[in-house]
Amino acid sequence: MRTQAPVLGLGLPIREYLLAGLTAAVVTFLLTGLVRVLALKMGAVAWPRGRDVHVTPTPRWGGLAMLAGVLGGIGLAAQLPALRLAFDYSYDVPGVVLAAMLLVAVGVLDDRYELDAITKLAGQITAAGVLVLFGVQWAVLWVPWGGGGDGTEGSGSLLILGQEQGVLLTVLLTVALVNAMNFVDGLDGLAAGIGLIAAAATCVFAIGLVKQNGNDPSAYSPALIAAVLAGACLGFLPHNFNPARIFMGDSGSMLIGLLLAAATTSASGRIPFSTATDGTDILALFAPLIVLAAVVFVPLLDLLMAVVRRTWAGMSPFSPDKMHLHHRLLEIGHSHRRAVLLIYLWAGVLAFGAVALALIDDPFIVLWAVGVGLIVAVLASAVPRARIR
């Protein structure tokens, strides 16, 4: 691995990111049908239960096709003139690939044999540990108090994390994201759509970081991870949108959570902290955390509400019920498809609003636009209308 990356004189490799993402989408779309047949033959089928929305047996293992799409997109990127440089200056992508393969394997077993929660948690922690071993971990956090690195009063300060602190934070955030995406996967197309929105927003932000770093190849990895994840979700969505012909299962939902965590964690290490001298740069410093909170707002809120609700009722936090946010939207009169589209709206407003705060100079315009979007989302969620056929 080279130790110093030159600044390229070429433009941003946006076309190569799009090509990698589209490759992931095409591979996922084409392989999902084959995976569906395999899941039926191997008995990896979701049989309807009392808390489920679907009423017919549906095959799982969609995560296998999504993983193939991710690998296809990354494999193509390794052959492209610009993106292949990402493999020379960072171990992030190989680490993400290994962690993804490990976690998808755990998910495949769970989709077929219903593993216990402890076994799945062990697999999630191990996958997060693989990320850390390859250098994908939090090392620095920005806090809005104290003097900045340049001594400017009120410009905030950098919190340097120790090795143990960085590892702990990385593992906690990864496990939280993996389980949040797993919890939200309750309606046809829901997890795939949220994953697509989250990954697309993270990719846009990460490409902005590439520009801030002078098109340095060492900053290519976060956007590549997000681009291939967005492509995999896009390719899987036609098979999974209501009425779903296949579910992604835990293998797919955990893959989405892992790659979102990896892309965000990797992006956090590419922010040029030395330039944080004004309000715009401070927003840029906050952006990874804002994006992290925004893109998983719906699943994390759902996870928190589920844990509190079940604990309050004297049940295990992992006990299933039919009171998730998407179930509540169905109960107040929204159709299946409309409930999913409403959650897409919420996720899109929050995710791209956070990215816009980091990339647009005037935050007031962004906040005004986000406020309008949230009002529209609230009104649309509170007032059921005609069903979408």
Q: pLDDT (tens digit, 0 to 9) for every residue of the chain, 389 residues total?
A: 444 444 444 578 999 999 999 999 999 999 999 999 999 998 888 876 544 555 577 898 999 999 999 999 999 999 999 999 989 888 999 999 999 999 999 999 998 888 888 999 999 999 999 999 998 988 776 665 655 444 444 455 667 777 888 899 899 989 988 887 887 777 788 889 988 988 998 899 889 888 888 888 888 999 999 999 999 999 999 999 878 889 998 999 999 999 998 998 888 777 766 544 344 444 443 443 554 454 455 555 666 666 776 677 666 655 555 555 555 666 665 666 777 888 788 788 878 887 887 777 777 888 898 889 888 877 877 776 544 44
Residue 309 is predicted with a pLDDT of: 65
How is residue 45 annotated by DSSP? E
Residue 237 is predicted with a pLDDT of: 94
Cis peptide before 94 (omega within 30 of 0): no
Residue 366 is predicted with a pLDDT of: 84
Cβ neighbors of 23 (< 8 A, separation 6 or more) are: 69, 72, 73, 76, 228, 231
Neighbours of 353 (CB within 10 A): 20
Number of H helices, E strands in the chain: 14, 4
By C-alpha distance, which of 111, 232, 249 is closest to 186?
A: 249
Contact present, 343 and 326 (Cβ < 8 Å): yes
Neighbours of 222 (CB within 10 A): 30
Residue 131 is predicted with a pLDDT of: 95
pTM: 0.82
* Structural domain includes residue 116: yes
Q: Which domain holds residue 147?
A: 14-281
By C-alpha distance, which of 326, 323, 328, 329 is closest to 309?
A: 323
Residue 333 is predicted with a pLDDT of: 59
By C-alpha distance, which of 95, 177, 87, 93 is closest to 133?
A: 95
| Burial state string for 87-126 with b = 16 or more CB within 10 A and e = fewer than 16 | bebbebbebbbebbebbbbbbbbbbbeebeeeebbebbee
Cβ neighbors of 261 (< 8 A, separation 6 or more) are: 128, 131, 170, 173, 174, 177, 178
* Structural domain includes residue 26: yes
Is the sign of the CA dihedral 121, 125, 131, 134 positive or negative? negative
How is residue 85 annotated by DSSP? G
The residues that bridge with 197 in the sheet, in sequence order, are none
* Alpha carbons 81 and 291: distance in angstroms, whole number: 29
| Burial state string for 266-294 with b = 16 or more CB within 10 A and e = fewer than 16 | bbbbbbeeeebeeebbbbbbbbbebbbeb
Residue 300 is predicted with a pLDDT of: 58
Residue 156 is predicted with a pLDDT of: 56
Please report, to the nearest 10 degrees, the dihedral formed by the alpha carbons of residues 51, 52, 56, 61 taken in order.
-130
* Structural domain includes residue 349: no
Contact present, 256 and 229 (Cβ < 8 Å): yes
Measured in whole angstroms, how far is the alpha carbon of residue 282 from the centre of its chain?
23
* Structural domain includes residue 36: yes
* Structural domain includes residue 265: yes
* Alpha carbons 355 and 222: distance in angstroms, whole number: 14
By C-alpha distance, which of 252, 259, 253 is closest to 202?
A: 259
* Structural domain includes residue 72: yes
* Alpha carbons 138 and 154: distance in angstroms, whole number: 24
Q: Looking at 50-91, which runs of residues are DSSP E strands?
A: 58-59
The residues that bridge with 157 in the sheet, in sequence order, are 143
In the three-class reduction of DSSP (H, G, I as helix; E, B as strand; rest coil), residue 9 is classed as: coil
Cβ neighbors of 337 (< 8 A, separation 6 or more) are: 241, 242, 387, 388
* Structural domain includes residue 289: no
Residue 356 is predicted with a pLDDT of: 83
Provide the domain count of the chain. 1
* Structural domain includes residue 223: yes
